[in-house]
Amino acid sequence: MRKLLGCLLVTGAITSFSLTARSDDKAKDAAGKDSGMVMLTPSEVKWGDAPPILPKGVKFSLLLGDPSKAGSLYIMRLKMPAGYKIPAHWHPGDENVTVISGTFFAGMGDKLDEKAVKGFGAGSFASMPAKMHHFGLAKAETVIEIAGVGPFGMTYINPADDPTAAPAKK
């Protein structure tokens, strides 16, 4: 039940966020009608705060699709500041990551281990199958692009790492 609730929170957060920070400058055909093509230069990518499922500090842009819809291709970007960390987690679908700039450090396992990461520089690609436990970090500002087929979800291995979780009562 907790996992389902987490997926619903993520989906709702991404859907509501996408209405305000989506980069949907669609190309027009010769008659001025929407062609369905999305064409963006780096300066046209719109950045905003990420959905609350991600640790604070990262910027987010939804380039294409709707991560809340089953079977829908989505492409999003994360702009991570120096020192940003994403604790160990998994996704219900495959996650495909391309490094746009900087170096993204990633590893597999149930706990973020900085000694167990591999660095991926600009142009690198990684694909994690559904439910694979993994983590990531950026030592300097880094931009990654994530592509997948919805619905997007994120489950932290340690529930205390989940930024949407209510703090434990004392």
Q: Encode pLDDT of 28-55 as tens digits.
A: 555 556 667 889 999 999 999 999 999 9
Q: Decide: residue 106, CB within 10 A, 0-12 exposed, 13-18 middle, 19+ buried.
A: buried
Look at the block and give the residue holding tokens 């959905």: 51
Parse the chain into domains and list their residue ranges.
Answer: 2-24+38-157
Q: Residue 18: pLDDT band by 50, 70, 90 thresholds?
A: very low
Please give the DSSP secondary-structure letter assigned to residue 66.
-
In three-state secondary structure terms, 127 is: strand
Look at the block and give the residue holding tokens 């991560």: 67
Question: Among positive and negative, which fits the CA dihedral 144, 160, 17, 140?
Answer: negative
Looking at domain 2-24+38-157, its CATH class is mainly beta
In the predicted model, what is the mean pLDDT of residues 131-136? 98
Per-residue pLDDT, 117: 97
Q: Is the pLDDT of residue 9 over 60?
A: no
